Structure 1
Amino acid sequence: MSTKTVAGNYFEDFAVGQEIVHATPRTVTEGDIAMYTALYGSRFAATSASTVAASMGLERMPVDSLLAFHLVFGKTVPDISLNAVANLGYAGGRFGVPLYPGDTVSTRSTVIGLKQNSNGRTGVVHVRSVGTNQHGETVLDYVRWVMVHKRDVDAPAPETVVPELPGAVAPEDLHVPFEIATGAYDTVLAGSPHLWDDYEVGERIDHVDAMTVEESEHMLATRLYQNTAKVHFNQHAQSATTIGRRLVYGGHVISHARALSFNGLANAQMVAAINAGTHANPTFAGDTIYAWSEVLDVLELPGRTDVGALRLRTVATKDLPCADFPYRDEDGRYLPQVVLDLDYTVLVPRR
């Protein structure tokens, strides 16, 4: 058989310090925005209405922050996680310049950590990935770690390198791509009267609504981002595993949770950082996603009186409403209904 095809990297193919330039840059279109809205129903005004974007001083209506995340992430999959068991978590994610239709995204990654698992069949790979636009400006810079199969279980384990993960992105390091003139922002059109000044540390918000994950939709979404991981598409291969089913891409759950958070956080117009995140349990087609958020911090931004930041924890569950929901057991382990625990920072206009 021809050797021109690529089977993807397995755990033993990675080395700390390895630099990977990911193929096929992706030009963003108006169709991507329409499809993203069709998949998740996101209603945040700055990425839904050009008039609202203009009122915030943006040059045009940008794409949703998480659509930018998906496009940057998707470029990495053929090289990093094509042979993954599961994507495990995120840290130190910082959003840069907004993406607009017509912009082209490219991604590079650096391997920063390796650890073979005790079973000898898999290992965890840590990478730092940076997505840039056609001008070389950073769109997103983040760390993730993923469990990857070994090709040869007898291959020797590499030296264990577990990187020190970055903590929450500091307020002075957040990029704020807009400036709101006094009186320009309309809370009625944005969908909520609650601005940055109205939130308190420790406040919990049950987003009330829910969304059932459909098989066709999660696969369509994953193709939209050119995420080629086998666990999402190949039912024949998945049938031979202990799970036996296609896994829903974790980013699909993040976007559902973010869209649901509009109910209670409608003025959180952009995501500025992903501080930490865990896909606690798998999601499958037919599961219904609920979400609630806790305000971890209310952050002033240096030199800014028009906008502030909220550091949030959003927890998403499957088939279980979130009101007063304890998401960990007595031993601190995630309950099986918890599918996402995301620590992130959003930008919210001030009074």
Structure 2
Amino acid sequence: MSDWTDPDAFASALDRAETREKGHYFERFAVGETIEHEPGLALDRPGNERWMGQTLNHDPAYWRTDTARERDFPEPPIHPDYLLACVMGATVEDLSEKGGYFLGRTDLRFHEPVLPGTEIRARSTVESTATSNSRPDYGIVTWQTAGYDAETDSVLVSYERTNMVPRRTATAADGGQVTDDEQTAEEGASTRTLPDTLIAPDGPHFEDFRAALDRVGDDPDAAVAYRHERGRTMDDQLVAGLPLATLNTARQHHNRDAMADSPSGDIVAYGDVTRSVALAHARSDEATYRERAYHDESFHDFVTLGDTIYGFTRVLEADPDPGPPRAGEVTFEHVAFDQDRRPVYSGRRTALVDSRHPDQ
């Protein structure tokens, strides 16, 4: 009988064994194809509270029944960040487990509140594919993804995301297309001069954001922009624990051996964890009534174990009309940055923000 645990003999067997691969190469994806993702989660309160607690999302409407009912929820709902992360996580095995840079996400919308006990599924449609001049070992794929209620088929969240995906066979260096995302990165992007004067709102309510924008007016050298004091250091719970709990199988979040020779040199944070931490910092300084939509989300640099994530916010618009009587719509631009002041995430967010109550 062979001794399969003899180190030398086993190493030799490993060299001869076929590897059963996970994930898909760029060539696998065809425009128009729809993929029904097999994984799915039942969203429960413990998982939701674990996500919120670890990312500092402490809005009481997602924890307490009385506050939830004040916001027109029958009970504390599933947090939008957790819903998004679970839908995204369920798609990783089919779409991006092979690795490659997450180039961005846009047109992210939350269609209806989600309550604990909801079972979710996800489906994605291949919107476009492109080759890359700058990285011939990769292609670029854009998917439209929807997370839906498994019982009713109602769409709960939807978004478009773009990834670089490894090719099984590299293309010729001059035979592809360069995407706008790559051009922006390679050209170093903006040379704009930022405003000299930054004004912070006086409070967390809609009227405070509107008043701050009025103070700035049309002055090109001023903006409503401010930083948030809280920071959160990336630990094992955030980097490995949370993504694994959302069925995110991407090795870059939990396999240090595989990542040792990568550009980051170590496992990296799930982008939606970094995003959720940064948005939690922002939400702690505003009276958010309801999340609405996100656009132009980008992840700019690696976040690894030990990095600390902070948040910065710019207020773009404040519109009193679209919301219920007690709230107005505010559009923000958020930037997450680390302890070395490197931007690691940015995106535009639209939310309903509570108006100041008449007795205050």
Does residue 264 (structure 1) correspond to residue 285 (structure 2)? The answer is yes
The 2-side partners of 1:159 and 1:109 are apart by: 25
Match of 1:281 among 285, 290, 301: 301
Q: TM-score by structure 1 length? A: 0.81
Match of 2:350 among 337, 345, 351: 345
1:90: how far off? 0.9
Q: 1:261 to 1:16 in 2, by over 3 A?
A: same
- Post-superposition CA distance 1:39-74 (Å, at most 9, x none): 112111221211111112212110111111111111
- Point out the structure with max Rg over C-alpha: 2
Percent sequence identity over matched residues? 24
Question: What letter corresponds to residue 155 of structure 2 in structure 1?
Answer: T
CA contact (8 A) 1:44 1:269 kept: no
SS at match of 2:115: coil
Residue correspondence of structure 1 range 208-287 to structure 2 within 5 A: 208-265=229-286, 267-287=287-307
> Residue 306 of structure 1: which of 306, 309, 326 is its match?
326
Structure 1 match to 2:192 = none
Amino acid corresponding to residue 258 of structure 2 in structure 1: A
For residue 130 of structure 2, what is the amino acid of its counterpart?
Answer: K
Gaps of 5+ in 1: 164-191, 322-336
Query: Unmatched 5+ residue regions in structure 2?
Result: 1-15, 181-201, 214-222
Contact 2:120 2:148 in 1 (8 A): yes
Q: Residue in 2 aligned with 1:180?
A: none
Question: 1:122 maps to what in 2?
Answer: 138
- 2:335 aligned partner: 315
Name the CA distance, whole Å, in 2 between partners of 1:250 and 1:121.
23
TM-superposed CA distance for 1:162, in Å, is 6.9
Q: CA deviation at 1:87?
A: 1.3
Larger relative contact order (C-alpha < 8 A, sep ≥ 6)?
Answer: 1
Letter paired with 1:313: E
Letter in 1 for 2:89: G
**Alignment partner of 2:58 out of 6, 27, 43:** 43
Tell me if the contact between 1:65 and 1:270 (Cα under 8 Å) persists in the aligned partners: no
C-alpha deviation, 1:157, in angstroms: 11
What residue number does 2:106 align with? 91
What TM-score, normalized to structure 2? 0.79
User: What displacement does 1:4 show?
Assistant: 11
Alpha-carbon distance in 2 for matches of 1:60, 1:282: 37
Number of equivalenced pairs: 308
**CA spacing shift, 1:145–1:158, aligned 2, 3 Å:** farther
**C-alpha separation in 2, matches of 1:155 and 1:320:** 37
Which residue does 1:144 correspond to in 2? 161
Q: What residue identity is the alignment partner of 2:206?
A: W
Does 14-23 or 196-205 show the bigger shift?
196-205
Residue type of the partner of 2:170?
Answer: V
